[in-house]
Amino acid sequence: MTDDIRWQQRFHNYEKAFLLLERGLSITTPTEIERGGIIQFYKMAFKLAWKCMKDYLEYQGYTVNSPRDAIKLAFQANILADGQLWIDALSDTNLNTHTYEEIRAIEVVDKIKSDYFPALQQLHRRMSIELER
């Protein structure tokens, strides 16, 4: 598989997770189960997002050794609008713990909706443009 096909396939997988997250976030008052799904869709979308960036950057000739490298290089290459937000999302371990507590899960979903989803949305738009080239 060539590098250009790899990043394109990764983008399609990212897009599927992104659209599931978008659909989950459109639920006005999610139930406890729906919140759990939103959090899981976010985790899946975020992981696929940085891997998509990595594959795309490698296709462009960069060497990427870690998720942090992918984020930093993507910001430098003007793929990401807010590199610090992506670094914050990467290090936000609170999304991985205590989401079984209802109040904490509500806070996590709110943070995804207000902070991280717009960043994922911006990446989706940018990579869609790259795909069309």
Q: Which of 48, 49, 32, 53 is nearest to 108 (CA)?
A: 32
pLDDT for position 95? 65
Q: Which element (helix H / strand E) includes 113? A: none
List, in order of start, the domains of the chain with CATH numbers. 3-132 (1.20.120.330)
Which pLDDT tens digit goes with each residue over 16-53? 999 999 999 999 999 999 999 999 999 999 999 999 99
pLDDT for position 100? 67
Q: What is the gyration radius of the CA atoms in the chain, in angstroms? A: 15
What is the pTM (predicted TM-score) of this model? 0.91
Which pLDDT tens digit goes with each residue over 73-122? 999 999 999 999 999 999 886 566 656 678 888 888 999 999 999 999 99
pLDDT for position 85? 96
Q: Which of 82, 92, 65 is nearest to 120 (CA)?
A: 82
